[in-house]
Amino acid sequence: MSKDFLATVMIWLTALLISGFFLYLLTDMLIHGLDRLSWAYLLDAPLDAGRSGGIAPIVTATAILVLIAIIVAAPLGLATAVLLTEFTRQKSHFGRFVERSLDVLASVPSIIFGLFGNAFFCLFLGLGFSLLSGGLTLACMALPILIRSAVEGLRSAPDEYRLAAAALGMTRGAALLHLLLPTAAPALAAGLMLGIGRAGAETAALIFTSGYVDRMPESWFDSGRALSVHIYDLAMNVPGGDASAHAAALVLVLLLFTINSIAMGLTRRWQRGRIHSL
């Protein structure tokens, strides 16, 4: 009885602590950043090292970075996950080796990815400080998360579907396309969100690869400043940039939140739609 009570209290406390922490962060950002937030802020170029003006080039650069990362990482990640779950035995040495490597990669600090990206994409491949280098580096970082979640999603699809499909003379590819991937879709979407989240929130890896020029990028070979880099710069290097930093942080959080909701909604609609159409 008393133990139950204690457990209940602990659980509630933990839940309150976590949501309270989140609410604190959000209100702090809202209080300090809401004043600066306006359409002009979103559509103008930064002035005076970001103390005034807007963040249009920075949002653009962030979008390009995340897009490059996802376009490169999503197909690669999905293909790897399919290979690991459907075409290699879970206990094979190859499968285990790849999964172990992914776990290690997922926990590598982002600064290491930044140094790798700088050495490989910027210098070795000669892409220089550019959005392309940054996007590819982000792709490398997001890949382990994408693969992990896609693997979990595909593994959670019931084995019965595989067996029943095979018993009906369907190929593995057909079972994958029509049954397993749709079943795994929420997990795939969640993984994609985590990937976008990680890519969108990345700072350290980008300082070394895409740089921090705050002009509007004209192509993906231009250097560009990501939102998180902008926040970091305003908070640490620009005296009097706090309000702008808060506003930028608010934009970043809202952006991620919006992408998240849209993706979840789309997944749900797509799954419902699949029941009927071919």
Which chain residues interact with other proteins by CB under 8 A?
Answer: 89, 91, 158, 160-171, 174, 178-179, 182-183, 274-276, 278
Nearer of residues 116 and 161 to other proteins, judged by Cβ: 161
CB of 237 to other proteins, least distance (A): 53
CB of 153 to other proteins, least distance (A): 14
Nearer of residues 167 and 236 to other proteins, judged by Cβ: 167
Q: Residue 45 — left, alpha, or beta (φ > 0 → left; ψ -120 to 50 → alpha)? A: beta
Residue 99 is encoded by which pair of tokens? Answer: 């999964």
Nearer of residues 148 and 162 to other proteins, judged by Cβ: 162
Place of tokens 């509007």: 216
Nearer of residues 64 and 184 to other proteins, judged by Cβ: 184
Place of tokens 């982000």: 138
Residue 55: count of CB within 10 angstroms of its CB: 28
CB of 152 to other proteins, least distance (A): 18
Nearer of residues 3 and 91 to other proteins, judged by Cβ: 91
Residue 194 is encoded by which pair of tokens? Answer: 């985590």
The closest alpha carbon to 37, from 55, 21, 57, belongs to 55
CB of 230 to other proteins, least distance (A): 44
Query: What is the C-alpha to C-alpha distance for residues 1 and 270, in angstroms, rounded to an integer?
Result: 47
Nearer of residues 51 and 96 to other proteins, judged by Cβ: 96
CB of 90 to other proteins, least distance (A): 8
Nearer of residues 171 and 258 to other proteins, judged by Cβ: 171
Nearer of residues 1 and 275 to other proteins, judged by Cβ: 275
CB of 61 to other proteins, least distance (A): 41
Q: Is 60 exposed, middle or buried (0-12, 13-18, 19+ CB in 10 A)?
A: middle
In this structure, what are the phi and psi dihedrals at residue 120, rounded to the nearest 5 degrees? -85, -55
Query: What is the C-alpha to C-alpha distance for residues 1 and 13, in angstroms, rounded to an integer?
Result: 18
Give the DSSP per-residue string, 42-87: HHSPEEGGGTEE--HHHHHHHHHHHHHHHHHHHHHHHHHHHHHHHS
CB of 76 to other proteins, least distance (A): 27
**68 with 131: CB under 8 angstroms?**
yes
DSSP 38: S
CB of 183 to other proteins, least distance (A): 6
Query: What is the C-alpha to C-alpha distance for residues 60 and 246, in angstroms, rounded to an integer?
Result: 19
